[in-house]
Chains A and B, each alone.
Chain A
Amino acid sequence: MTDPKKSQIERISDLFAVPDALPTRITAPLRRMAPEQWSARLAELLPVLVRAGLRDETADVRRWAVLVHVVAVLSGTTHDAAHASSRRTGAVIFEAGYSEARLSKLLSARGDGLRDQVARLARFLRARGAQPLDLRPLARLVLAEGLDERAADAARLDIARSYYASADRAIKETSE
């Protein structure tokens, strides 16, 4: 089921998008989980990570927990696809009505604050039916923040560029 050529976030999304791939006793707690309660949900988290191919014993499970939570939220109870490579992160966020101020807050957040903002973003997008979107920049940001700031910055820029490109297109269309 899992494609070895795909990134781990894509494989996690695939798992949640297929009915019966994961039992409800796994998906529901992960969907309802608060990111800071990740340690209480290891029994649900670890099987998902293992099935997605994460073998690295040094992996920061706390960071992966919020990413799994994001996928669970976006997928919902209807097994919607959370990830689509062609739908640029920033563009989807903009079109969903996510304000520039909230974007700024997301991209300037660090540590637990970032994980909290990412979780809020997922709920925002799900509420507006904006999924799927390219989750890879968000994944890179969450995994690199505080460890590899160049990579984290590149991810932030990736999200910002597609956000502002959409904003500028909208401005142009409005003025024409």
Chain B
Amino acid sequence: MIITHLDRAGGVRETDLFGTFAALSRDEVEDFPALRAHQRHPWHAFTVQVAALAMLRADISDPPGDAEGWRGLLHGLAPPEAWELVVDDWSKPALLQAPGLETGLRHTGKRATTPDAIDMLLTARNHDLKGARMADAPEEDWFFALVSLQTQEGQMGAGNYGISRMNGGYGARVALSLRPAEDRPGTAFRRDITRLLALRPQIERDAVSLGDVALVWTLPWDGTSSLPFDRLDPWYVEICRRLRLVREDGRIAALLANSKMARIEAKARKGVTGDPWAPVEADGSKSWGVSSQGFNYRKMVDLLDHEKIAPAPLARPAPEDGVAGLTLRAAAVARGQGKTEGFHERHIRVPAKAVGVLGAGDRLGTIARERRARAGEAAVILRHALRMLAQGGPEKERADDDVTNARIARFERLFDRAVDGAFFDADFWNHAAETGDTDEHWITWRGRLADMARHTFDEAVSAMPRSTLKRLRAEARGRSRLDGCLKRFRNPHAETAGAKP
């Protein structure tokens, strides 16, 4: 199997799987051009987990820089055929494909002839990202599709169970990580492996159970049984579907089979599986998920709120990370019942002065929560003013009017986007990095929110259809309402002293 990467000089390189691990180790990879956006984290996680497992087993701390070194390491984890994309003998594993599929399926099984037919994105009525377009796809496309399918897919109807590393069949495998300065595949690869190996003793001490199954695809699976969770190594690489790739007339196809139950018995764990990128509720009850709203500022505040969400191990800074140029990265494919609700990703630069508060104490979470609360208050003020505007400036606005609420929704979204863009600005991080608390930051934030609300209202005045006769009344009452409330909002403690958010 050939995997293509761009090297740091922009040249195109083709290597096998072991050569790819070597290139990552040497930090020679600029990009994998065949990777689709939603496949990036699963691929990164696969390489890191496999590498960490192999290095742990070999008791080494420095990753090899050559392909042969990696071949030896990976063969120490699983036999050679387990690293081949297509293996004709179905009694043996293939890469991310378990042995045990009924041989009769070669002729009668459901087949997919393109890799994007097995990968997980299901778009409504085949809109947007079209399905099954990748005819004549090279092997690496199949491989990346397999990684995505087997390590982040959810439940898709009867017989198609999802992964264990998320809460429920319609959840999402959220990845939260701290990316180093000069964020390249190789730097992230080396950073995460180093951290995992350093965290291993703690992981083993904290583990409820410590199994020895690392690569789930190497075990036979006939679809009628689940693997007990306590048999698994904390860094296990799982599969969730039964399939085999075959070569037909020079092309690859996938033969698919159902299963009667999930591959791993982990439903009760609700996604708390030791995934080193997964944020988990602070009480350990379940993993944290994402919806079609993605990683807006409200959700990111949750992720930074350590009273609510325990940070993912690989999202905590470590001394070797340094302080310069770090980025907090969140990524996930949101899922609904029988559909995907978008790939979501967010990067937040963490200034050097604020690295110390990331993952330590609750100051960051407290400030983030308060900023979010103030944004919510400004949104309510704006909503009332917009309603007044949309309803033509009546003496009293009607709160339960669906037509009005529909008309103003896009302006509320406009405000929300403006807040989202400003939320994690320099002032936020400066505030977080300081040890005391003063009025200054809160006055600044309130002032910015008021400006954004006013600007959004101006946009609504320009854009909203309304009759001439009511127009001035609508704007007059709406703007008076807005200005009056924002004046109090900007400085709520004008008559009293003290540092208050």
Residues on A close to B: CB < 8 A? Answer: 100, 104, 107-108, 156-157, 160-161, 163-165, 167-168, 171
Contacts and interface: CB of A to CB of B under 8 A. Distances in A.
Nearest to A165: B480
B395 A160 contact: no
Nearest to A108: B468
B476 A163 contact: yes
A160 B468 contact: no
B477 A157 contact: no
Contacts of B480: 161, 164-165, 168
Q: Classify the interface of chain A: helix, strand, loop or mixed.
A: helix
Nearest to A172: B395
Contacts of B395: 167-168, 171
Contacts of B475: 157, 160
Contacts of B472: 104, 107, 156-157, 160
Interface residues of B, number: 11
Interface in B465-495: 468-469, 472-473, 475-477, 479-480
Contacts, number: 32
B99 interface: no
A104 B479 CA distance: 18
B393 interface: yes
Nearest to B483: A161
A165 B395 CA distance: 10
A167 B393 CA distance: 12
What 4 A-B pairs are tightest by C-beta distance, nearest first? A160-B476, A160-B472, A161-B476, A164-B476
A107 B469 CA distance: 9
A108 B468 CA distance: 8
A157 to B, nearest CB: 6
B476 A157 contact: yes
A164 B471 CA distance: 13
A80 B475 CA distance: 34
Nearest to A101: B469
A156 B468 CA distance: 12
Interface string B250-294: 000000000000000000000000000000000000000000000
A129 to B, nearest CB: 26
A75 to B, nearest CB: 28
Contacts of A160: 472-473, 475-476
A135 B405 CA distance: 38
19 contacts: A100-B473, A104-B469, A107-B472, A108-B469, A157-B479, A160-B472, A160-B473, A160-B475, A161-B476, A161-B479, A163-B476, A164-B393, A164-B473, A164-B476, A164-B477, A164-B480, A165-B476, A165-B480, A168-B480
A9 B479 CA distance: 27
Nearest to A161: B476
Contacts of A167: 395
Residue of A108, A160, A167, A168 with most chain B CB atoms under a 10 A cut-off: A160
Nearest to B481: A168
A94 B52 CA distance: 78
A165 to B, nearest CB: 6
